[in-house]
Amino acid sequence: MVPELETSRLRLRPWRTSDLNAAVEIYSNGEVARYLGRTPRAWTGPADAHAALARWASFEGPRYGVWAIVPHDEDDPVGSALLKLLPYSSGETSPDTEVGWHLHPRVWGRGYATEAGGRLLEHAWMHGIEEVFAVTYPANLASQAVCARLGMTGLGQTDRYYGLTCELFRVARPS
């Protein structure tokens, strides 16, 4: 099972079926969806959420997963944080670990992506992962700034993952 993780302001926990409406609210937003996947598409309703929640629940943990980001003073998720293996553009799974985040625009600018991403990096190091990557659309300057705050180094553009050209970032496990 994907473990619950804490930060000073956030709880990272597995997504639940009771989070369906929050998931739809986040991922049906065009501002969120525009930077997700090979063919960005906003969710159109509960069927998309059910499919995603099933995919996310398939992560057995404890190393990899998709976590709901829940501020301590709220009940519903405001986004997702993920730690998983990157898919090569060919469709095969790479050995490279990815960290990522997706947040509802109403909470942008609060540092939640950096806080959640930093906690997942700590989780990765605790599980013996030696390096972690992040990929962003070239136009996603906000996520690139999060990568920099996390101490990640920009490696330039690549088409190695997801079947699209993206900016690649890397951070090594601290010695």
Domain 5-172: homologous superfamily in CATH: Gcn5-related N-acetyltransferase (GNAT) (3.40.630.30)
Query: CA-CA distance, 106 to 125, in Å (whole number)?
Result: 31
Task: Return the pLDDT at 38.
Answer: 87
> If pLDDT is split at 50, 70 and 90, which confidence band does 61 have?
confident
Query: CA-CA distance, 15 to 57, in Å (whole number)?
Result: 7
What percentage of the chain reaches a pLDDT higher than 70?
Answer: 100
Q: Using the CB atoms, write b or e for 27-51: b if 16+ within 10 Å.
A: bbbeebbeebeeeeeebeeeebbee
What percentage of the chain reaches a pLDDT higher than 90?
Answer: 94
- The answer on pLDDT for 161 being more than 90 is yes
Angular region, 115: left φ>0, alpha ψ -120 to 50, beta rest: alpha
> If pLDDT is split at 50, 70 and 90, which confidence band does 1 have?
confident
Task: Return the pLDDT at 17.
Answer: 94
**pLDDT per position as a tens digit, 79-101:** 999 999 999 999 999 999 999 99
Query: How many of the other CB atoms lie within 10 Å of CB of 13?
Result: 18
Mean pLDDT check: name the lowest of 8-12, 34-38, 142-146, 170-174: 34-38
Q: Which helix (H) or strand (E) holds 32?
A: helix 30-33
Mean pLDDT, to the nearest integer, of 162-173? 97
Mean pLDDT, to the nearest integer, of 116-126? 98
Task: Return the pLDDT at 116.
Answer: 98
